[in-house]
Amino acid sequence: MDGFFTWFFALITTMFGGVWNSIVSFFRGIFLIFDFKTYIGLFAMHRHSFGVIGWILAVLCFILVYAFWFGVVFLIVMLVRKYVRFRQSIVGNEDMLEEIAELHRDVVRLTREKEKILKMKAIGSPDAFEGYAMPALPGEATEVGGLMPPPSSAPAEPRKNSESAALSDTADKRFYRLAAVDEKYETFVEPIYDSNLSLSDLCDDIRNYACSKARLFYEVKTIRLMIAGLASTKLILLQGISGTGKTSLPYIMGKYFRNDATIASVQPSWRDRSELFGFYNEFTKKFNETEVLRRIYESGYNDDINVIILDEMNIARVEYYFAEMLSILEMPDPEEWKIQLVSAVWDSDPARLTDGKLQIPQNVWYIGTANNDDSTFAISDKVYDRALVINLDSKGVPFEAPETEAKSIRYSHVESLYRQAQEDYPVTQETLDKIEKLNNYIIDKFRVAFGNRILKQLTVFVPVYVACGGDEIEAIDYIFATKVFRKFEALNLSLIRDEIKGLIAQLDALFGRDTMTESIAFLRRLQKSY
């Protein structure tokens, strides 16, 4: 056993002695590297034997040696700083992830609170949430604050077993807003309509009314575009800078027609049609009706011109929440313009709902406003092709207008004026041939074509624009600028720059020099943007 301990002690002594010698040698080496006293002594010992070249080489040697060690030290310092920054970034990322997680928890909490509030608002029955109640239906008594009266002392009738009879007389009307519309029109008396205005008079009248009643100044061309555009499509898109009267124009039109516009303020959270029409709540057995749904439903009862404004339309994606309407408004047969609101049918459903479907009436105009900034989404070609775009890029110039009063005008009268305009001012075959040549040229040079939809809109828009007091070439120019040449923005402008010059020459050759002013101005802006 003594032999083992002697060996083990010798082993450990040798091992740790080697470690100690390594450490001592390391620091001794560091000391020798920076032993400037010895360097100076060696230099003093040998400098007497230096010649001129030796002195020069000695100086160079000192410079190189100290430059080398300075570089080593600098490199070590940079590595240390880089490591410190790396550690700080890791710590910063960890803090950021923690903040994101905290924000996510806050979002979840707020979402739950919002759902509770919406559920309380949707339910609105006394036995669901204490202190909340549905708005009283017409003819029902209410207490202060809109709450339902307390139950009487008489014993309540037992509930029926069938689903359709399970709810009370108040709750069985799941469309209480639409039911109120039904009651309103049971005793409705039509106003006296004005049927003497032509389309040209209508444009001048709206313009003068906006000026005299609201001090809103619009060019007559803007009003003509609006009226003619609504003949070719039910959807108008007003876009431009803020403060140019985009929302005010359809609003004042509603005032002029004595039928105030319904304004739907689009929210960034809108994702589907339920934001526009509402949704059926399976828990409360109620349909959460929106003002837009009520207005569309009521439009089926009257022959008025009904205006719905989608304010800030592109603050959410139009092709998401308005997708179904975009498809419906494209159907050639208006009898097929229907949306499914509910799948099951109740006896108490509104009178104009058939199999849970709502017929979209013809006398509704949808007018959206759009700003182009960082807070909005780009509008897709699908929307642009189906809508007529009116650009309001400048404030109106003040002018004096005669005092003009609002008028009640039938939608059917305006429709008859549209049909008469197409008979009186049809697009000539000569003009259609020119359009066909231009279309072939654009396909050949730019690989861009406008389909049957745009051509169909053009053949309706142009005659009505002429009937409104405009010019045929001016109307064709506007359609090409806003619907055809707008597509060039998606092309590689650097490759088509020279082709644009040829296109401008082609426009001059077909329609006359400098007649397609709006299209040429747009094309030249594209050239300058490259």
pLDDT of residue 207: 96
Name residues whose C-beta falls within 8 Å of residue 401's C-beta, 6 or more positions apart in sequence.
Answer: 207, 208, 211, 212
- Positions of the chain with pLDDT lower than 70, given as ranges: 1, 115-116, 118-172, 530
Question: What is the structure's pLDDT at 120?
Answer: 61
Q: 285-315: per-residue pLDDT in tens?
A: 899 999 999 999 999 999 999 999 999 999 9
- Give the side-chain half-sphere CA count within 13 A for 473: 13
Look at residue 150 in the predicted model and tell me its pLDDT: 42
Residue 143's nearest CA partner among 133, 156, 129 is 133
- According to DSSP, the residues that pair with 368 across neighbouring strands are 237, 310
Q: From CA 305, how far away is CA 254, in angstroms rounded?
A: 8
Per-residue confidence (pLDDT) for residue 412, from 0 to 100: 96
Q: Which residue has the tokens 């050239």?
A: 527
Pair of tokens at residue 17: 């002695």
Domain residue spans of the chain = 35-97, 175-409, 425-530
pTM over 0.85, yes/no: no
| pLDDT at residue 75, as a whole number | 87
Give me the residue label for tokens 């499509």.
233
Token pair listed for 156: 């309540």
Do β-strands 278-281 and 286-289 pair in parallel, antiparallel, or remain unpaired?
Answer: antiparallel
pLDDT score of 154: 41
Measured from the Cβ of residue 408, the count of other Cβ atoms closer than 10 Å reads 17
Whole-number pLDDT of residue 355: 92
Beta bridge partners of 130: none
Q: Rounded to whole angstroms, how far apart are CA atoms 20 and 423?
A: 110
DSSP symbol at 488: G
| CATH number for the domain running over 175-409 | 3.40.50.300
